[in-house]
Amino acid sequence: MKHVNIVIVGAGIAGSILAAQLPDHLSVMVLDKKRLDGHPDSFKKPCGGLIAPDAQRSLAKLGLTIPKDVLASPQIFSVTTVDLPVKLTRHYQRFYLNVHRHKLDVWLASLIPEHVEVMDQSVVTKIQPHDDYVDIEYHRNQTTHHIRCDYCIGADGANSITRSATHAPKIRQYMAIQHHFPLHNTQPFLGCFFDESITDSYGWFGVKDDVLELGAALPLTDSLKRFEQLKSSLLTMGYPLDQPIFKEACLVNSPKSLKEIYLGEKRVLLIGEAAGWISPSSLEGLSYAIDSAIMASKALVQKDPLVSYTHLTRFLKVKIKLKQWKSLVLYTPLFRRWVMRSGLSSIQKIKESADSLHIVHGKAGKK
């Protein structure tokens, strides 16, 4: 059986950055289920594709600059926030980078050094941790393979087989559903929607080039029914939603308490969303994926990687705790509406363009 120092399960944001940061004297293998050549038929993670300031800062620390073909058009500098039940709207200045998430994943995977063995289109089926090593089984090209490693790193997202191979506690999850629609002539904008009768999380509305994207993080029970309810609410308000040209969905984690964040055990480490590193208020996970990958790369060259990784990620837990407090305000209707009605931190748009979609007295339409 082949033996390597480290196997990374998942070549998303966290996995690719970890593979690029590990020293070259280690033998490293990366396993990922999607095609990493950018093929349009490859698996694509449903994602709003917005890089928040924290993630921009983390990329800057790595000295990375995003290629222009990864960027999506347009770049929007405000978010329209709508409380649907009371038809309350506010605009807030934000500094996100609008990107194509799949292209971002493929670009980061392309930065993995040549000495790292990358196996795309590989589905991991079994992970067996032992005291001194980890055995991994995966399928590729209709063949079952086995590999043994000193450490297995789970970077495989919310539906993590690596996490399931440990004694990790159950973590709160949502079903993220996203539909794509033709843009037509509507002025592009970025929006987020709150409706506690549909979800105790939120929905989003954005533009990628000539496509509108409507998504929502929904409870696992009746998630499709809830999404259709959100679409119906937006249609009655005048939002331009035709028949979708593409549909996608995936699980997304959202830690309800710090106890749900699990860093690993024995010779298994979890990074990114697999560990629970994701904001419970905004579901922003890119910055946590980058930071946890960097910290894991430092920990894996120490005598006791898990102890070192636990120490290095203490400030990430502080960030998560602060986001949990923020989510109490954001997702409690009374608090959210008080903040929105106060106009705190909101901006007043000077002029609406002639063809922009906006909400006036509870109705949306063309001005």
Does one domain contain both 178 and 236?
yes
Q: Are 269 and 194 within one domain?
A: no
CA gap 366, 359 in Å, rounded? 9
- Indicate the number of domains in the chain: 2
| Residue 249 in tokens | 């969905």
Same domain for 203 and 92: yes
User: Looking at residue 41, what is its pLDDT?
Assistant: 67
Do 263 and 353 lie in a common domain?
Answer: no
Whether 66 is in a domain gets the answer no
34 and 163 co-located in one domain: yes
- 262 and 248 belong to one structural domain: no
Contact 28, 117 (CB under 8 A): yes
Going by DSSP bridges, is the β-strand pair 50-51/173-182 parallel, antiparallel, or unpaired?
A: unpaired
Beta-carbon contacts of 214 under 8 Å, excluding residues fewer than 6 positions away, are 178, 179, 181, 203, 204, 205, 230, 231, 234, 241
Cβ–Cβ under 8 Å, residues 241 and 214: yes
Please report whether residue 212 resides in a domain.
yes
Same domain, 94 and 240: yes
With a CB cutoff of 8 Å and minimum separation 6, the contacts of 351 are none
Q: 73 lies in a domain?
A: no
CA distance linking residue 124 with residue 120, whole number of Å? 11
Domain assignment present for 262: yes
Using CA atoms, how far residue 180 sits from 80, 209, 213, in Å, is: 19, 12, 5
Question: Does a structural domain hold residue 70?
Answer: no
Give yes or no: residues 344 and 201 share one domain. Answer: yes
Q: Is 45 helix (H, G, I), strand (E, B) or coil?
A: coil
Write the DSSP assignment of 264-289 as a string of letters. EETTEEE-GGGTT-S-TTT---HHHH
Same domain, 34 and 162: yes
DSSP letter for 241, please: -
- What's the pLDDT at 352? 53
Q: What's residue 56's pLDDT?
A: 96
Collapsing DSSP states into helix, strand and coil, what is residue 101? helix
Same domain, 249 and 130: no
The CATH number of the domain holding residue 341 is 3.30.9
Local structure of residue 58 (DSSP, 8 states): H
> 59 in a domain, yes or no?
no
Question: Domain of 152: which CATH number?
Answer: 3.50.50.60
Closest CA to 153 of 252, 261, 274, 43: 274
**What integer pLDDT is reported at residue 332 of this predicted model?**
97
Q: 273 phi and psi, to 5 degrees?
A: -65, -25
Is the distance from CB of 215 to CB of 199 less than 8 angstroms?
no
Residues 196 and 289 in one domain: no
Expressed as residue numbers, the domain containing 159 is 2-46+101-170+257-325
| 3-state SS, residue 118 | strand
Q: How far is CA 149 from CA 9, 115, 231, 241, 266, in A?
A: 12, 16, 47, 49, 12
Query: Is residue 55 one of the residues assigned to a domain?
Result: no
CB neighbours (10 Å) of residue 132? Answer: 9
Same domain, 193 and 302: no
Domain membership flag for residue 357: yes
- Which mean pLDDT values do the consecutive 10-residue runs of the chain (367 residues) have? 96 97 97 81 77 95 94 92 94 94 93 96 96 97 96 97 98 96 78 96 93 95 97 88 90 97 97 98 96 98 97 97 96 96 89 44 38
Q: Are 187 and 355 in contact (CB under 8 A)?
A: yes
